[in-house]
């Protein structure tokens, strides 16, 4: 029961009606139900007008007012979705961008009641928002998150959590002490296929992890893409290439589903296929604490590209490709079969099937809904902010391994990584 309904109704089960996520979208039906419940309980002194006032009180007082910092590709998309009412009980109250063209776009395309700022810090300290969504360049994520938390705001930050783990760790510590909600925009976790993989692997029904392989090369980019901004694909502007710009979701999913490896050996090729200073082609080898191994391969130059995520476990394997999750289930644990089968060429019986899911894949809208309902009702987030450091550790580890031309152990030497990154930032050139 949320605080408002508890204040109004005590322990009455009408709270379950008010907590309905579709309440705002079907208000007439819900108010009628509310009226009937109140009348059955013979609550005197409440007239019909009171029911409407209760409804108004619920909607107005149970709304999260959010400001968006950064009105680029993602920020503008989020602002339009929220303004269109796609996220119940989330209201766009403000937006900020230092670039005049983007500020002008916001002034002409967002609702008139949205306050537009040219300075993100002015928005943070304006006292008109309950929360902020940060959609700025990567390096700014931790600093803006920490300032917003210090100002008493809840924070939803776009991926990645930052560029280097040392700063992200500081951000996580700040968030933990703030008492405010801190979440990451890892919208791929809403995909029913990846949720099913997570449940199967972490649930243990198919035994321990043996091998994981993800080849994710289906985001082809031309030179024109990299030329679109003087900050793009530079160490000083973005802090990395395909690992930090395209792959944060996949690296998050990799650790969310399979856990964190203990060793990384990677080969990151800078400007192999494009005229850029950061990596556009990566092959990484992973070792896990239980002896399992993995590979992660990505590039922005494969045409056509591939997206195949394969996980081998003791009881078979999972293959996610072409929007389908296929399970190959053994009749017997492979480790036991290997030790007891009489024939040298015997193979365990295997059944192939398509994994049924709930079909839901709400993406950014799903993350925004969960963020809003966590603030209002304490419901689970899609991804807690503190989890952002895990996928970033993988990309930092891959970079560091390639820079040092050696295997890197996890936990990462964060000081060494930052030293190496700063060397590249100092030599970085704007296009």
What pLDDT score does 35 carry? 52
CA distance 422 to 419: 5
Q: 156-207, pLDDT tens digit by residue?
A: 999 999 999 999 999 999 999 999 999 999 999 999 999 999 999 999 999 9
Give CA separation, 404 vs 182, 198, 421, in Å.
Answer: 34, 33, 12
Q: 387-423, pLDDT tens digit by residue?
A: 999 999 999 999 999 999 999 999 999 999 999 999 9
Query: Which residue intervals of 263-413 are DSSP H helices?
Result: 334-340, 363-377, 388-404
Q: 288-346, pLDDT tens digit by residue?
A: 999 999 999 999 999 999 999 999 999 999 999 999 999 999 999 999 999 999 999 99
The answer, yes or no, to whether residue 281 has pLDDT greater than 70, is yes
What pLDDT score does 404 carry? 98
**pTM score:** 0.88
Residues 6+ apart with CB under 8 A from 135: 68, 69, 70, 71, 72, 74, 75, 78, 158
Three-state DSSP state, 219: coil
Sheet order of strands, 131-134 included: 115-117, 90-96, 64-69, 131-134, 154-157, 182-184
Q: Which domains does the chain have, with CATH numbers?
A: 3-61 (no CATH), 189-360+383-426 (3.30.360.10)
Percent of the chain surpassing pLDDT 70: 86
Mean confidence (pLDDT) of the chain: 90
Q: Are 146 and 121 in contact (CB under 8 A)?
A: no
Residue 230 pLDDT class (50, 70, 90 cuts): confident
To the nearest 10 degrees (0 to 180), the angle between helices 388-404 and 414-426 is 70
Number of residues in the chain: 431
Residue 231 pLDDT class (50, 70, 90 cuts): confident
- Strand-strand pairing, 64-69 and 131-134: parallel
The answer, yes or no, to whether residue 368 has pLDDT greater than 50, is yes
CA distance 286 to 295: 6
Q: 80-124, pLDDT tens digit by residue?
A: 999 999 999 999 999 999 999 999 999 999 999 999 999 999 999
What pLDDT score does 215 carry? 98
Q: Are 247 and 395 in contact (CB under 8 A)?
A: yes
The answer, yes or no, to whether residue 248 has pLDDT greater than 60, is yes
CA distance 83 to 101: 20
What pLDDT score does 10 carry? 44
The stretch 137-152 carries a mean pLDDT of 98
């Amino acid at each position: 029961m949320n605080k408002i309904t508890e204040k109004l109704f005590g322990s009455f089960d009408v709270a379950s009606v008010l907590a309905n996520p579709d309440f705002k979208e079907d208000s007439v039906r819900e108010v009628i139900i509310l009226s009937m419940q109140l009348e059955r309980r013979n609550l005197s002194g409440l007239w019909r007008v009171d029911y409407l006032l209760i409804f108004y009180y619920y909607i107005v007082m149970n709304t999260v007012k959010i400001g968006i910092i950064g009105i680029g590709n993602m920020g503008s998309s989020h602002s339009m979705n929220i303004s269109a009412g796609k996220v119940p009980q989330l209201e766009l109250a403000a937006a900020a961008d230092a670039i005049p063209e983007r500020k002008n776009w916001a002034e002409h395309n967002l609702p008139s009641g949205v306050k537009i700022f040219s300075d993100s810090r002015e928005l943070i300290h304006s006292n008109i928002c309950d929360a902020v969504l940060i959609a700025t360049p990567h390096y700014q994520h931790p600093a803006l998150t920490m300032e917003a938390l210090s100002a008493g705001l809840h924070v939803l930050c776009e991926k990645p959590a930052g560029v280097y783990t040392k700063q992200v760790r500081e951000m996580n510590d700040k968030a933990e002490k703030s008492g405010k909600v801190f979440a990451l925009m890892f919208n791929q976790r809403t995909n029913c296929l990846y949720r099913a993989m997570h449940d199967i692997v972490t649930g243990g029904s198919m035994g321990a992890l043996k091998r994981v392989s993800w080849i994710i090369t289906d985001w082809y980019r031309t030179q024109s893409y990299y030329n679109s901004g003087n900050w793009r694909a530079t160490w000083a502007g973005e802090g990395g290439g395909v690992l930090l710009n395209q792959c944060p979701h996949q690296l998050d999913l990799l650790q969310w589903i399979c856990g964190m490896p203990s060793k990384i050996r990677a080969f990151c090729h800078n400007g192999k296929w494009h005229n850029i200073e950061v990596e556009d082609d990566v092959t990484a080898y992973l070792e896990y604490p239980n002896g399992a191994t993995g590979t992660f391969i990505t590039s922005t130059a494969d045409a056509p590209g591939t997206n195949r995520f394969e996980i081998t476990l003791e009881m078979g394997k999972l293959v996610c490709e072409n929007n389908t999750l296929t399970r190959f289930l053994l009749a017997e644990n492979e480790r036991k079969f290997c030790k007891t089968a009489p024939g040298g060429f015997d193979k365990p019986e295997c059944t192939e099937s398509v994994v049924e899911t709930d079909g839901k894949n709400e993406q950014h809208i799903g993350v925004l809904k969960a963020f809003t309902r966590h603030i209002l009702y304490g419901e689970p987030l899609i991804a807690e902010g503190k989890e952002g450091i895990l996928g970033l550790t993988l990309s930092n580890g891959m970079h560091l391994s390639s820079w040092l031309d050696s295997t890197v152990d996890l936990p990462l030497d964060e000081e060494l990584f930052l030293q190496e990154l700063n060397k590249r930032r100092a030599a970085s050139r704007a296009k």
